Amino acid sequence: MPAADPSTEETISPHPHLSWQAVAGADSYRVQISPSAAFDFLLVDDTVHSVIRWFVVAKPLATGRYHWRIRAERDDGSAGPWSPTRPLAVIEPAKNFEVTPLTSLDELRRIAREAAAGPSARIRLAKGAYRWDPGHQQAVFAWKGARNLIVEGNGATITLADPSSQLFHLDDCHSIVIRDLQTSHEPTPYSALEVLAVDPGGEWFEGRVLAGFSEERYPREVNQFFVYAVAPDDFMKKHPDRPGHTYLAWNRTRRIAPGVFRFHTREVAERGAMKQLQPGDRALACYRRWPLNLMSGCRDVAWSGVLGGISEGALFMGGDNSDIKFLGLIQKSPAPYFPSAPGWVTGNDRRSPWIEGCEWEGMTDDRPNITGNSYLIDRNRFQSIASCAIYLENEPTCWEGIVNRNVVIEDNFFTGCGYDAHSRHLQRGNIHVNTWRPGIGLDETDWIGNRSILIRRNTIENWSGIAIGVDNADEVTVRDNVIRLPSPLAAEPVRIFERGTRVKQ
């Protein structure tokens, strides 16, 4: 029987996680949680693949005392004995603080400091519209070493007045819960455009700004600047037969008339895509730099029911984290012109993230762009993502030695996602396992960081480019996926690259 790892039996988090030791021969583990020691009424009865060996309670538990147990199961239907029952308690925080839309930023920061002083606290935001300006690359909530905190949004909408400001900056924080709030930036780091002219060689195009950022030079250097062609009737969908995700040179934009600008491609390789644009097309130019939320060295942080909107950079970014949870996240733009931010970009996480029941919608850069160990991406919906919906990457030359190991991607739904045929030189799929190549001439076959990855029971429809791509990985299983209804720009359903890759199908 599986032995539970020693863990804190009391938590303020309504989304606790459970872990245990491996059982030889197990294909999966069944987890049960009940308010009754007899388990005659189950709040949780779920399974997780054996490579994971931890479990996150996605549906919030109310304050109270519970019991949990686990057993090993095999694919042939057989099961081992139940583990001894272990207690679990969800308790109320020691302190509570109230915030309203009239609360000043200075007062909010005072409350945040007092809450972080311990031993545990809840900051409750009244429902309403909030607008704060924490300053360039500064955060509203900036905690270092904080423990046992809940920020409860109650449906509040928070708008940040600087595109490079942050909502949360968490450093070495443990047991943090952020739930039920909506975030966005204004002014927006995007430009909605009408294409007026295109260089026949694909070096540039000219466009009139219909909405959004309308200056010749973005006020700061950005990491990326790219353009998407959008559907004639909907700025939130890719154009059916025009290029997507074409990189631009952010510092070469020129104003040629009031509200009209000339945009240049960043590299020669992008010109083939650029010259597919036609006058009269509509497009989105997107500036990318600073994340909306940053986590470093954190443990047990749950983002639950958060609605992410417009942001200059990734909705979440960080590294050296463990037990990070994204539950019921909804990421889409509230504006008709603009995409939502990219998803979770992370480096070298120890165990996590756990991504379940989320919705990702709107053209932008890669959604979950992940490196980590022992994590699950389960029962999420991805719609109209103009690049990789899920991107697992590692970097053998990076100082962190980033890897992906013991990963399960299952029961997700994808529609209208993927790089199109004009961006085929990027060679990435809707779901992509990849080694990023930072150096020329690097021989990657002796360094394979992506290992023990299961991609199963996903549904991919109306896809572009490659549906599933696996590159330079080992012990990868791709099975029982439904790949249907390819778009006119689809290339191939599954591509297995040859660099040191071993894949079971």
pLDDT tens digits for range 432-455:
887 554 444 444 444 556 788 999
The SS3 of residue 382 is strand
Q: Which of 90, 112, 129 is the last residue of a domain?
A: 90
CATH of the domain at 239: 2.40.30
Task: For the chain, give the mean pLDDT.
Answer: 85
CATH of the domain at 34: 2.60.40.10
The verdict on 175 and 197 lying in the same domain is no
The verdict on 283 and 319 lying in the same domain is no
**Whole-number pLDDT of residue 73:** 97
Question: Do the Cβ atoms of 285 and 263 come closer than 8 Å?
Answer: yes
The verdict on 280 and 422 lying in the same domain is no
The verdict on 422 and 474 lying in the same domain is yes
Residue 211 belongs to some domain of the structure: yes
The verdict on 231 and 85 lying in the same domain is no
Q: What is the pLDDT averaged over residues 54-70?
A: 96
The verdict on 372 and 501 lying in the same domain is yes
Q: Is 94's pLDDT higher than 80?
A: yes
**Whole-number pLDDT of residue 366:** 59
Q: Which of 36, 57, 90 is the last residue of a domain?
A: 90
pLDDT higher at 37 or 343: 37
Q: Which domain holds residue 390?
A: 366-505
Q: Is 296's pLDDT higher than 70?
A: yes
Residue 293 belongs to some domain of the structure: no
- Choose the most confident range, by mean pLDDT, from 224-228, 354-358, 451-455: 354-358
Task: Kindly provide the b/e burial profile for residues 318-343, where b requires at least 16 CB atoms within 10 angstroms of the residue's own CB.
Answer: bbbbbbbbbbbbbbbbebebbbbbbb
Residue 135 belongs to some domain of the structure: yes
Q: Which of 90, 106, 132 is the last residue of a domain?
A: 90
Q: Is 230's pLDDT higher than 90?
A: no
Question: Do the Cβ atoms of 298 and 172 come closer than 8 Å?
Answer: yes
Q: What is the pLDDT averaged over residues 373-394?
A: 84
pLDDT tens digits for range 191-220:
899 999 999 999 999 999 998 888 888 777
Residue 295 belongs to some domain of the structure: no
The C-alpha atoms of residue 65 and residue 62 are separated, in whole angstroms, by 9
pLDDT higher at 134 or 237: 134
Among 493, 393, 410, 496, smallest CA distance to 457 is for 410
Strands 316-319 and 465-470: unpaired
Strands 299-304 and 381-383: unpaired
Residue 147 belongs to some domain of the structure: yes
Residue 35 belongs to some domain of the structure: yes
**Whole-number pLDDT of residue 445:** 46
Number of domains within the chain:
4
Q: What is the pLDDT averaged over residues 135-144?
A: 92
**Whole-number pLDDT of residue 117:** 96
Q: Is 500's pLDDT higher than 80?
A: no
The verdict on 15 and 116 lying in the same domain is no
The verdict on 339 and 410 lying in the same domain is no
Residue 365: Cβ within 10 Å count = 23
Residue 3 belongs to some domain of the structure: no
Residue 294 belongs to some domain of the structure: no
The verdict on 182 and 195 lying in the same domain is no
pLDDT tens digits for range 402-424:
567 889 999 999 998 877 555 55
**Whole-number pLDDT of residue 14:** 97
The verdict on 319 and 437 lying in the same domain is no
Among 308, 291, 343, 310, smallest CA distance to 166 is for 291
**Whole-number pLDDT of residue 364:** 61
The verdict on 105 and 140 lying in the same domain is yes
Q: Is 243's pLDDT higher than 60?
A: yes
Q: Is 400's pLDDT higher than 50?
A: no
The verdict on 213 and 244 lying in the same domain is yes
